[in-house]
A and B are shown apart, each in its own frame.
Chain A
């Protein structure tokens, strides 16, 4: 990392981008290690796509949580809200009156409702986010068990066809032992993930709201002095996070096709860990949205590697904890090596829009102040 700074003495990387870079390098290294140790399985494209296919809900949740963490808050209710959404959708679809679109609306509605409630309580009543989202966790879990206790398998034909729908890439794939060509498959959830990553990254990079989020997370007081509506910014971050949890719930049931009490349990812990690996700090103000999916993928690859190595499942948890420890210490060392200089919020040059766009000029000035 030191050489990286020395190569570019003029343009210092911001903390957000440095941590993102560390996460990306570690991800590439982990995948390289995986390929080196298990070439026959990790070289297949399907393995890579399956990481997305199976873990799309987690990645979506991670995105929402990332925004909340950048603004300096935390949301630990997302896993339970996701579980509640899956169960509500399953009950609705099985009741015979619902349609797939109705279930989608229900999912978004539940997510937004939780976001609105928690956002209002945290932003406008100034209650500590941990406690409120803890209450949200309890509320979602309680509603989930009240709604239905036993697993429901959705058998509605329209939904089953959606669940089994796969996008086949005919020119990419592998041959099995008999020499039959098996093309790669992608679930529709992956498309949703990619679209959401692009949308939210654009939101955080190029809109007034996104810059406000960074400003509020960096220093609430000075953001308020600059005329940023701190409360509204915080409020909307929680709404977005709730919405993401709702979407994640729908993607979850689209992948598994069943409502279950244990759905998405403890995903909030995984999401926090992914964001930490991805370089988002809990203090707020530092983080890159692209880092969170990379953090999630790193965590998942670690799990895949351990599973491929065939060690006991107890070791799996210990090794994940150990690797998290290494990441955290590495981040901490890198951050302290950079010294306690002033926090700089600048986009890398390749992400900046050309300066001839007139409507961006005003925003750029605001950014510099923030």
Chain B
């Protein structure tokens, strides 16, 4: 029970945000969960959120690992995804007929490009000891131009059936393909984390690199490995994004996604200064951000003002989740409780009760 509580406690914040957003949406209109079937595929608010957030979720997973191990963030993921998808598009367009084989080979090539990108950043961070944000700044500055040069022309169009199906729906399957791909990716990551020691190594490197080194874990290798994983994540995200859009726009593809990805990591209850991490939290955080964006559209807030509302929401959210406010709330809660206990004169069980029914104060203390 206690262990379960410790596992769930860091999810309190993202889940409560999700619940609040769902309640707001339900107040706006009761048909929020309604699903419609168009051409044999499910559409509705929830599938749209899952569909729209697919790249963000994948990038948030990679970002969580990078943040946990290297104590910094990768801000070049949008540019990285542009490069990898440029490689994919280049191969598919030059291969002649687009068959399943060419798409798969193109995807694998883009994964290789992603590994190269990850290795570039990882070398800077692990060998040269540059802060991750500075190291990835290089790619942020020059990455989109590299993608443009790989393309060779302005926004080539992916006009084949298979890309279209990957971007939208495969006939006969009721769920949009990006959702399925995201689910597969999440499953692979879950299996890897369950069967290998990756989580332990990454967390120990993130908490204290020198201690990890003394215990026989090489921080360099682990940080390099997380950046390689991040590279694969960018490749997958770029693959989905370019198939969704149907054309490769090297200027605007996944433009400000690094902000949202870092935000997803923070909303998921992870510390941005490394250490323990929760992939589940980040995934929920990513879906929360997408839901927030769509909620604001649903509430008919003007498009110019949306960003300001988003900012206010983030500020309130982070203020509520901040350790200072939490401690303060805990104190007030205890005071109220002691007053209540002394006035109603309960005999036993009261302190125990107080301990159990206090889910707002999780044990998350690794910052």
Contact = CB atoms under 8 A, between A and B. Distances in A.
Interface of A: 74, 117, 121, 124-128, 130-132, 134-139, 141-143, 145-146, 149, 269, 272-273, 276, 281-283, 313-322, 324-325, 328-329, 332-333, 335-336
Interface of A, helix, strand, loop or mixed by DSSP? helix
A321 B141 CA distance: 6
A320 B141 CA distance: 7
B107 to A, nearest CB: 25
Nearest to B135: A328
Contacts of A325: 124, 138
A126 B308 contact: no
B147 to A, nearest CB: 9
Given A130-B73, A138-B307, A138-B314, 17 more contacts: A134-B263, A141-B307, A142-B309, A272-B133, A314-B145, A317-B142, A317-B145, A320-B141, A320-B142, A321-B138, A322-B138, A328-B138, A329-B124, A329-B130, A332-B129, A332-B130, A335-B129
B35 to A, nearest CB: 31
B273 A134 contact: no
Contact of A125 (B72, B138, B324): B324
Contact of B140 (A124, A125, A269, A335): A269
A233 to B, nearest CB: 17
Interface string B311-335: 1101100110011110000000000
B137 A276 contact: yes
B272 interface: yes
B129 A135 contact: no
B304 A134 contact: no
Nearest to B310: A138
B325 A130 contact: no
B177 to A, nearest CB: 31
Interface of B, helix, strand, loop or mixed by DSSP? helix
A51 B304 CA distance: 34
Q: On chain B, which size bracket covers the interface?
A: 35 or more
B259 interface: yes
A132 B130 contact: no
19 contacts: A131-B263, A139-B311, A143-B308, A145-B304, A145-B305, A146-B308, A269-B137, A281-B131, A314-B145, A314-B148, A317-B141, A317-B142, A317-B144, A318-B142, A319-B142, A329-B124, A329-B128, A335-B129, A336-B129
B142 A322 contact: yes
A149 to B, nearest CB: 6
Given A321-B138, A328-B130, A146 B145 contact: no
A324 B306 CA distance: 34
A88 B308 CA distance: 15
Contacts of B17: none
A282 B263 contact: no
Nearest to B305: A146
Interface of B: 72-73, 124, 128-131, 133-135, 137-146, 148-149, 259, 262-263, 266, 271-273, 302, 304-312, 314-315, 318-319, 322-325
B131 A282 contact: yes
B73 A321 contact: no
Nearest to A76: B259
A245 B129 CA distance: 30
Contacts of B144: 317
A282 B142 contact: no
A74 B75 CA distance: 13
Given A128-B266, A131-B314, A332-B128, A138 B145 contact: no
Contacts of B323: 126
Contacts of B128: 328-329, 332-333
Given A127-B322, A134-B263, A328-B124, A139 B131 contact: no
A62 to B, nearest CB: 14
B123 to A, nearest CB: 10
Contacts of B310: 135, 138, 142
Contact of A126 (B131, B259, B322): B322
Nearest to A329: B128
Nearest to B127: A332
A135 B143 CA distance: 25
Contacts of B311: 135-139, 142
Nearest to A321: B142
Contacts of A336: 129
Given A139-B311, A146-B308, A125 B145 contact: no
B306 A132 contact: no
